[in-house]
Amino acid sequence: MRCNYCSQRITRNLTIKEIFLPQKIVSEQLCSQCVKEFILLERKGSCYGCQRWSNNTYCNDCIRWQQLYPKYDFHHEALFSYNPAMQEWFEEYKFKGNYGLRYSFREFLQTYFKQKKNFLVIPMPISTERMKSRGFNQVEGLLDAANICYQPYLVRFADSLSQVQKTRKERMALKQPFKLTLEGQKAVLNKDILLVDDIYTTGRTIFHAAQVILENDPSKLYTFSIAR
Ligand SMILES: O=P(O)(O)OC[C@H]1O[C@H](OP(=O)(O)OP(=O)(O)O)[C@H](O)[C@@H]1O
């Protein structure tokens, strides 16, 4: 078996931690060298709203979001820190188009989604133009690789410069680019929804997508990203 990221042969014995802490996730896709580079986020010591490191219950960004969306009980969870190793991984996967990397975090995603069995999972969509140039939706790719069921009820009708290419101010100025399909409008009513994106930076993208779901009265809306 080779590492899904660096392609080195994986020859590893269980570590002491894995033997004595069976709840620790054992990656079958990544070698121990690669796995060490990705930092798992914890709920303890992080903002309740977005899971960024914070001494307070809510970080300053989330306090500002609460003022804009006062009725939305915002709750975002993320698996990994968007550290330089994770940025490099996304560069390879998303921008260089190495679709084979969708398996890298399979066990981590499966463990997370096991606790969210009752949720209707909706992935962040990409525009038709982006689909043409990239060839795949990066979020759906990760969910498919982990065998997680989802419904593509959101549509991105407006294309714009990638958020990555913008300053923070420009990111925040993004206009609403999403709508919910007719099927989606009916399906989310009174359901627990889990909206999934790959990366959370300013939150602008997630909040726009959340807004169109909230307009259709789900019973609960949580959000999730691979990296924060
Ligand atoms: O929290 P934010 O500041 O809104 O940034 C996060 C968003 O930025 C990226 O999308 P982008 O618009 O760049 O599209 P792409 O990655 O699919 O090209 C990323 O996939 C998130 O959706």
- Ligand 1 centroid–CA 21 distance in Å is 35
Confidence of residue 27 (pLDDT cuts 50, 70, 90): confident
Distance (Å) of CA 17 to CA 3, 12, 29, 36: 20, 13, 18, 13
Q: Is the CB of 202 under 6 A from ligand 1?
A: yes
Paired residues of 169 in beta bridges = none
> Would you say the CB of residue 204 lies under 6 angstroms from ligand 1?
yes
Q: What digits encode the pLDDT tens for the residues 167-213?
A: 999 988 889 999 999 999 999 999 999 999 999 999 999 999 999 99
Tell me if 214 sits within 8 A of 206, measured CB to CB: no
pLDDT tens, residue by residue, 88-134: 999 999 999 999 999 999 999 999 999 999 999 999 999 999 999 99
User: Is the minimum distance from the CB of 127 to ligand 1 under 6 angstroms?
Assistant: no
* DSSP secondary structure code for residue 102 in this structure: G
Q: Does domain 38-227 have CATH number 1.10.260?
A: no
What is the position in ligand 1's atom list of the atom closest to the CA of 198?
20
**pLDDT tens digits, one per residue of 108-119:** 999 999 999 999
What is the domain partition of the chain in residue ranges? 38-227
To the question of pTM greater than 0.95 for the whole model, the response is no
Mean pLDDT of the chain: 93
Judged by DSSP in three states, 193 sits in strand
Q: Does ligand 1 have an atom closer than 6 angstroms to the CB of 205?
A: yes
Query: What band does 11 get if pLDDT is binned at 50, 70 and 90?
Result: confident
| Residue owning the nearest CA to atom 16 of ligand 1 | 162
CA distances from 25 to 61, 76, 85 (A): 31, 21, 19
